[in-house]
Structure 1
Amino acid sequence: MPYEQQPPAPMVVPRFFVKQRITLMINRYEIRAANPDGSEGPLMALAEQKRMKIKEEVRFFSDESKSRVVFSFKARQRLDVHAEHDVFDEYGQQLGYFGKQFGASLLRSTWNLAAPGLQAVGRERRPFIAILRRIWELIPYLGDVWVPFIFHFDFVDTASGQVVMVSERVKAIRDRYDVQVPDPRLDFRVAASMAVALDALQSR
């Protein structure tokens, strides 16, 4: 069935922004809606990634008080490059999953993304930038120097080739991403989890 004829996901957000905050032991990400004029809107979720955990887990809170977890993603295995991650709603029901394709990612980061009625693959848009980043990381001393490479990801439906999700990194001191989701089958919570993972897990 063409995706235009399939029911939309329970929570559809066509565009949002992801902004990183860095603290000593926790990475935090703000997920904000996009206003009609393209500016940043209200806070939709606040994500936290605790570093050095044996099993990767990122929780998304409803606001700054962190009193309510509204969704999360968690690795199926202990930390490794093949780990797949499940996305759950606040009641523990699975919404979708994603995982990195290790072999393909050696030259160009590639991810699998799935949700009900949807299978997609996401790749770095520019192969040249992907290779340049890898070369930089291998050079002694330079690999430890932070360089704000601008890289984007395009996710396409494996059946139709249509664009499902786009994450574009914006030039900024801290990591910031403009995320567009033209496919209404992709639930916002799965899209937001994938968008945060593209930053939090990219070096894995």
Structure 2
Amino acid sequence: MTAPMHVPRFFVRQRITLMVNRYEITAANPDGSEGALLAFAEQKRMKLKEEVVFFADTAKTRPVFSFKARQRLDVRAEHDVRDEHGTPIGWFKKDFGKSLLRSTWHLSGPGFDAVGQERRPAIAILRRVWDFIPYLGDIWVPFVFHFDFTDKATGRPVLSSERKKTIRDRYDVTVPDPRVDFRLAAAMAVALDALQSR
């Protein structure tokens, strides 16, 4: 089974403004460089129900997919990913209990259920300790952390997101499983940045 829109590798770059986080999703060229824009997303802050809309271009002429929380301001909220017509593509949610020590997410789409965790448990613990040390928690430190998602049934890799060492958040996303729709993968990749601290 292959998803209608499968992209095996792409990049996510975040651009921060005062009230909105913006994300540019670009294709990966064969040589590993950034290619064409695949989607542009905006996350408005201070919303009761988390929602991120992805557009076909930076002018926001046409929304092409989105994700939205089912519940209001809930760290355990499930997020539905829908296409431009409102048809469900899949969903994801953060596993709050397991995330206390190591961030864990569940991702589901047609034909698969996956679980994703921070790749390095030591970095996960270091990030949490850093946040609780007086004075240090207010100092921005670019912890480089990666997420790996595997199929719950087979243990095979489904999706990986690797954060790059840059001032602005930038991620290299690989999707080896052809069942994972690009729109679901892109939504999950953006959520790993936008919702990670919640």
TM-score range, shorter chain: over 0.9
Alignment-derived partner of residue 77 in structure 1: 71
Alpha-carbon offset, residue 131 of structure 1? 0.2
Within the alignment, does 1:128 sit opposite 2:155 as a pair? no
RMSD: 0.5
SS of structure 1 residue aligned to 2:47:
coil
Alignment-derived partner of residue 61 in structure 2: 67
Alignment-derived partner of residue 174 in structure 1: 168
Indicate which of 36, 39, 42 corresponds to 1:45: 39
In structure 1, how many angstroms separate the alpha carbons of the residues matched to 2:196 and 2:61?
Answer: 28
- Give aligned-pair identity as a percent: 74
Alignment-derived partner of residue 185 in structure 2: 191
Alpha-carbon offset, residue 45 of structure 1? 0.4
Alpha-carbon offset, residue 141 of structure 1? 2.1
In structure 2, the gaps of 5 or more residues are none
Within the alignment, does 1:34 sit opposite 2:18 as a pair? no
In structure 2, how many angstroms separate the alpha carbons of the residues matched to 1:73 and 1:190?
Answer: 9
Q: Structure 2-normalised TM-score?
A: 0.99
In structure 1, how many angstroms separate the alpha carbons of the residues matched to 2:66 and 2:29?
Answer: 24
In structure 1, give the amino acid aligned to 2:78: E
Alignment-derived partner of residue 104 in structure 2: 110
Q: Structure 1-normalised TM-score?
A: 0.96
Ranges of 4+ aligned residues in structure 1 off by more than 6 Å: none
In structure 1, the gaps of 5 or more residues are 1-6
In structure 2, how many angstroms separate the alpha carbons of the residues matched to 1:129 and 1:61?
Answer: 33
Q: How many residues align?
A: 198
In structure 2, give the amino acid aligned to 1:65: A
